[in-house]
C-alpha cells in the first residue's frame, strides 16, 4: 500500500512551483510596519526560534486564505487524487526514515490556491500536517544531513517561500504625512502555512546536523539574495522570521558574510537614492546592529566606508521614523567601537539635518544625545562649533518640542561636562539664543528650561557670562542702528519715488494743456 501511494507522487515539482522557486509571479499585499525596537541581543532568541511544533496547529483550515502560485489544473485531477498523507516517521524503520523525509519534502512542493477558502481542504491539511512532521524531524535529527537531503530541503523551501510582491499601493502616504505606524498591518492569510516553512528553515539552519561546508553549496548566494528580497514583505511576522534566519545564516556560513553585508548595502543604496520604499529596512538594521557589535578592532576601512556611504545617508528619506531607532543604534555602535568616528557621525547628522520637519528634528536630537554620550573630548572639540550653531537654532525653534529637546541636552551629565569644559567656545555661540528665548519664547516650559541653562553658565563663570551679555547688547545696538538706517533709506527712497511720480503727472498735465490750446 505504501509503495502504491508513493509511486503516485510527482517526481518533479509542478511548473508553477518551479516558478516560485525562481522568483515566481505571485502577488501579495502587505502593509508598511515599523520593525520594532529589538536590538542585537534579541537575535536568535525571539519567539520565532522557540515555538513548539504543536503551536502551529490551525483550528480552522478553511480560514487559510491568501497566496497563490500553482495552477493545479495543469497537473490534472490525478495529481490531487494522489495527494495523500504518508506514514509517520515513527511507523517506519530507522533506516527508512531519511528516504521518507525526502519524499515528504517532495510532497510539500505542491503550492495550493488559498484565495478560495473552500478549495482543496483535504490536501491543504495533509500538507500542513506533513510540514509539522518535517519540523519535528529536523529538530530531533540524529546524524548529518546528506547532500541529497540538503538539496531537497532547499528546493522545498524555495518553492514555498520565494515569490514576488505587488507594487505597494500606499506609497504616497509617507509624503502626505500619514503615520503608517498607526495603521493596522496587513497580515498574509496564508501565514499558518508559511510560518511552518519558516520555522522549518530556521531549525534546519540552526541544527548542529547541518554541515556548513556541505550546505553552503545550496544555501548559496542566489538563495540568500532571494531571502533578502522577501524582506520587502509587508507582513511583520514574516520579516521577523527572516531577520532571525538571516542572522543565523550570517553566523553559521562565514564564507557568505562579506556577500551578505554587500547585498544589504545595495538594498540601502536603492532605497536611499531611488525608491525610498522598502518594508524591511528596520529589520535589516537590527541584523547590522548585531554584526557591528561583533566587529573586531581596529575597524576595517570597508566598515567605516559603510558608515559614511550607507548608514548616515539613511537619515535622508522621509519615512525615517519607520526605522530610526534601529539606525540610531547602529550609528551609536560604531562610535562606541571607535570613538574617533564621533566627529564623522555628528557631521553626518548635521549634513542631513531637517529644515521644516519638526518631528524628524526631534528624532535627530534624540540620536545626537546618544552619540554625544559616547563622544570623548578630542572628538567633541572637532565638531562643537557647527554642532552648537545648529543646537542654538533648535533652541529658538517655535515648535516647543524641538526647543525643549535641545535644552534637555543639559540634563545629561556627560554632555553637560563636555559643554562646561568648552564653555568659552560654546557660550558665545548659544548666548543669543538663550537671551531671545528668555525674552520672547511663547512656551512656558521652554522659557523655564532656558532660564535654568542660563543660570548654569552664570553660576559657573560669571565673567564669561558678563562678557557674552555685553557682546550681545553691543550686537543688538548695532542691529538696531542698522535697522534704523535701513528704515531711513527706505523712507528716502519712498519720498524720491513720490516726487518723481508728482513731476511725471505735472509734465503729462502741461503737455495735455498745450495740445488742447494748439487744437483750439
Residue 209 vs residue 37, higher pLDDT = 209
Q: Measuring CA to CA, how many Å separate 222 from each of 29, 146, 238, 244, 251?
A: 24, 21, 20, 19, 18
Q: From CA 44, how far away is CA 193, in angstroms rounded?
A: 21
Classify residue 2: in a domain, yes or no: no
- Residue 18 belongs to some domain of the structure: no
The per-residue pLDDT for 178 is 44
Digit-coded pLDDT (tens) for 416-444: 999 999 999 999 999 999 999 999 999 99
CA angle (442 as vertex; 437, 447 as ends), nearest 5: 45
Q: CA angle at residue 471 from 466 to 476, to 5 degrees? A: 125
460: Cβ contacts below 8 Å, ≥ 6 apart: 420, 423
Has this prediction a pTM greater than 0.75? Answer: yes
The C-alpha atoms of residue 290 and residue 282 are separated, in whole angstroms, by: 13
Q: Does residue 231 sit within a domain?
A: no
371 pLDDT above the threshold of 50: yes
485 belongs to a structural domain: yes
Domain count, the chain: 1
**In the block, residue with C-alpha cell 545617508:** 313
User: Which tens digit of pLDDT belongs to each residue from 453-506?
Assistant: 999 999 999 999 999 999 999 988 888 888 888 989 998 998 888 888 877 776
pLDDT exceeds cutoff 70 at 64: no
Tell me what percent of the residues of the chain surpass a pLDDT of 70. 76
Helix (H) or strand (E) holding 76: helix 76-81
> Per-residue confidence at 17, pLDDT binned at 50, 70, 90?
very low
Within a domain: 428: yes
Q: Is 100 exposed, middle or buried (0-12, 13-18, 19+ CB in 10 A)?
A: buried
Residue 153 has pLDDT above 90, yes or no: yes
Whether 26 shows a pLDDT value over 50: the answer reads no
H or E element in which residue 329 lies: helix 324-337
**Per residue, what are the HEC states of 14-56?**
CHHHHHHHCCCCCCCCCCCCCCCCCCHHHCCCCHHHCCCHHHH
Instruction: Report the candidate in 109, 126, 129, 10 with the shortest Cα–Cα distance to residue 69.
Output: 109
Grid coordinates representing 359 are: 518631528
> Once rounded to an integer, what is the mean pLDDT over residues 135-142?
91
pLDDT of residue 9: 40
Mapped onto helix, strand or coil, the DSSP state of residue 354 is coil
- Distance, in Å, from the CA atom of 160 to the CA atom of 127, rounded to the nearest integer, reads 11
Q: What is the mean pLDDT of the chain?
A: 81
Domain range for 492 is 378-505
Residues 372 and 380: beta-carbon distance below 8 Å: yes
pLDDT at 191: 81
Q: Render pLDDT for 251-294 as a digit per residue (tens, 0 to 9).
A: 999 999 999 999 999 999 999 999 999 999 999 999 999 999 99
The answer to whether residue 9 is domain-embedded is: no
pLDDT of 353 over the 80 cut: yes
100-108 average pLDDT score: 89
* Residue 56 forms part of a structural domain: no
Contact 44, 244 (CB under 8 A): yes
* 465 within some domain: yes
At 459, is the secondary structure helix, strand, or coil? helix
Residue 22 C-alpha cell reads as 525562481
Distance CA 449, CA 434 (A): 10
Amino acid at each position: 500500500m505504501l509503495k502504491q501511494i508513493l509511486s503516485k507522487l510527482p517526481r518533479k515539482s509542478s511548473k508553477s512551483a518551479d516558478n516560485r522557486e525562481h522568483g515566481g509571479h505571485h502577488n501579495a499585499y502587505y502593509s508598511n510596519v515599523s520593525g520594532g525596537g529589538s536590538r542585537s541581543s534579541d537575535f536568535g532568541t525571539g519567539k520565532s526560534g522557540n515555538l513548539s511544533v504543536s503551536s502551529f496547529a490551525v483550528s480552522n483550515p478553511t480560514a487559510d486564505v491568501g497566496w497563490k502560485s500553482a495552477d493545479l489544473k495543469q497537473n490534472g485531477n490525478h495529481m490531487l487524487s494522489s495527494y495523500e498523507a504518508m506514514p509517520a516517521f515513527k511507523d517506519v524503520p530507522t533506516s527508512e526514515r531519511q528516504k521518507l523525509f525526502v519524499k515528504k519534502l517532495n510532497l510539500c512542493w505542491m503550492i495550493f490556491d488559498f484565495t478560495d477558502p473552500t478549495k482543496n481542504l483535504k490536501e491543504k491539511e495533509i500538507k500542513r500536517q506533513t510540514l509539522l512532521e518535517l519540523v519535528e524531524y529536523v529538530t530531533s535529527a540524529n546524524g548529518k544531513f546528506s547532500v541529497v537531503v540538503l538539496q531537497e530541503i532547499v528546493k522545498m523551501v524555495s518553492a514555498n517561500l520565494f515569490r514576488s510582491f505587488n507594487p505597494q499601493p500606499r506609497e504616497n502616504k509617507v509624503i502626505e504625512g500619514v503615520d503608517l505606524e498607526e495603521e493596522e498591518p496587513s497580515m498574509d492569510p496564508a501565514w499558518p502555512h508559511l510560518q511552518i516553512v519558516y520555522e522549518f528553515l530556521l531549525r534546519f539552519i540552526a541544527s548542529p546536523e547541518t554541515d556548513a561546508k556541505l550546505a553552503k553549496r545550496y544555501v548559496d548566494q542566489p538563495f540568500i539574495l532571494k531571502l533578502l528580497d522577501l524582506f520587502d514583505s509587508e507582513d511583520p511576522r514574516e520579516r521577523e522570521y527572516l531577520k532571525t534566519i538571516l542572522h543565523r545564516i550570517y553566523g553559521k556560513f562565514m564564507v557568505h558574510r562579506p556577500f551578505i553585508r554587500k547585498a544589504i548595502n545595495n538594498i540601502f543604496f536603492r532605497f536611499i537614492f531611488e525608491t525610498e520604499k522598502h518594508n524591511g529596512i528596520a529589520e535589516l538594521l537590527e541584523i547590522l546592529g548585531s554584526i557591528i557589535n561583533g566587529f573586531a578592532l581596529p575597524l576595517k576601512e570597508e566598515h567605516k566606508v559603510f558608515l559614511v556611504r550607507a548608514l548616515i545617508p539613511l537619515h535622508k528619506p522621509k519615512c525615517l521614523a519607520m526605522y530610526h531607532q534601529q539606525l540610531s543604534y547602529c550609528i551609536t555602535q560604531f562610535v562606541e567601537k571607535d570613538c574617533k568616528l564621533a566627529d564623522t557621525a555628528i557631521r553626518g547628522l548635521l549634513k542631513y539635518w531637517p529644515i521644516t520637519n519638526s518631528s524628524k528634528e526631534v528624532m535627530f536630537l534624540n540620536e545626537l544625545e546618544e552619540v554625544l554620550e559616547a563622544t570623548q573630548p578630542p572628538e567633541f572639540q572637532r565638531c562643537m562649533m557647527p554642532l552648537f550653531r545648529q543646537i542654538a537654532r533648535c533652541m529658538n525653534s517655535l515648535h516647543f518640542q524641538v526647543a525643549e529637546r535641545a535644552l534637555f541636552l543639559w540634563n545629561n551629565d556627560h554632555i553637560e561636562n563636555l559643554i562646561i569644559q568648552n564653555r568659552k567656545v560654546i557660550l558665545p555661540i548659544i548666548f543669543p539664543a538663550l537671551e531671545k528665548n528668555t525674552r520672547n519664547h511663547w512656551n512656558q516650559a521652554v522659557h523655564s528650561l532656558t532660564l535654568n541653562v542660563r543660570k548654569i553658565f552664570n553660576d559657573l563663570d560669571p565673567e564669561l557670562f558678563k562678557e557674552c551679555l555685553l557682546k550681545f547688547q553691543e550686537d543688538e545696538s548695532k542691529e538696531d542702528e542698522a535697522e534704523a538706517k535701513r528704515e531711513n533709506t527706505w523712507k528716502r527712497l519712498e519720498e524720491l519715488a513720490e516726487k518723481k511720480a508728482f513731476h511725471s503727472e505735472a509734465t503729462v498735465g502741461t503737455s495735455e494743456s498745450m495740445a488742447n490750446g494748439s487744437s483750439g
